[in-house]
Structure 1
Amino acid sequence: MNQEIAESAVQLDCAVRNFSVLLSSTPRGARLARLLATEQLRTWGLPLEAPGHVVAELAANAVTHGRVPGRDFRLMLYVVADTLRIEVTDTRCERLPQLRQPTSGSESGRGLVLVDALADRWGVREDRFPRKTVWAELRCSEPEPVPTGSGGEGDPHPKNSGEK
């Protein structure tokens, strides 16, 4: 059974938001993790695409490699300042994930490559036996636009400005 564990907003110098849910270690639970995360991110007004892919990969790994019958996995989302932290905790700590380059013919093994490409940083934390947490952090704010020199609005050196 899916159970929402906690959702709160705390006022500090910046807003700290978090969301946590316990999900069944099944393909359905992994799909639900992405759907719930996407909806929570939408509620917070945050980007959806990259975090949605990261959640999907980490949840799929928890279900595929961290599954113990009868035990659930936990999805946690934290936002502090402009950083989103995604954590997925499962109950198989003897199998720690490692980033490997898949062979061209392999049908799996690309999940962490995708996480590595989308996240600003990621890692694994061994928790109290028998758990492990795989986490990823993504910056939520868009980088400042870089002037292109094309004369567009906001360009500090517009072409044909009449200045000599």
Structure 2
Amino acid sequence: MTLDLATTAPRIRVLSGVADAQIRQLADVLIDCVEGGASVSFMLPLTPERASAFWRRVGEGVARGDRVLLVAEDAQGIVGTVQLLLEMPENQPHRAEVAKMLVHRRARRQGIGALLMQAAEQLGRERAKTLLVLDTSSAEAERLYARLGWTRLGVIPGFALLPGGEPCDTTYFYRALA
């Protein structure tokens, strides 16, 4: 029997730690997104060393319990990721922030972003969070969040820079968890 892996749904899972092989794969996803124009805190050129250093810091946060790291994997490895930032001020124990929702360009338009976001929402509920917040500079991501039931709050013009240096707007969303 032949299995067409291109149509097999990706596996979403929580990483309890971040090994070197995972850091390399996560760095590849981050670099691909930045090279594709995503405004996700990094400027061009994004070297593998800088991307790997970022994921090592994320791994340290995972180890401390400050954040949860989810990944989407297909037959070739990690193709997407999202983080749930849990470390909030003491007057905000009920909320978490969704950060760095990234999907490699080779795996887009396959529902991976939606699967990652649904998993992040479920993890928020499991951790007794009643409110999630996020920001994005991507019109494509805005459509995804709206489709998933997130509420758009508004836009801050010129909030960040695109990887090539051009200013971009940022849109804020929230999701009340039932």
Q: TM-score, normalised by structure 1?
A: 0.36
Identify, as 1 or 2, the structure richer in helix. 2
* Larger gyration radius, structure 1 or structure 2: 1
Q: Which has the higher contact order (CA 8 A, sep 6+)?
A: 2
What's the TM-score once normalised by structure 2's chain length? Answer: 0.34
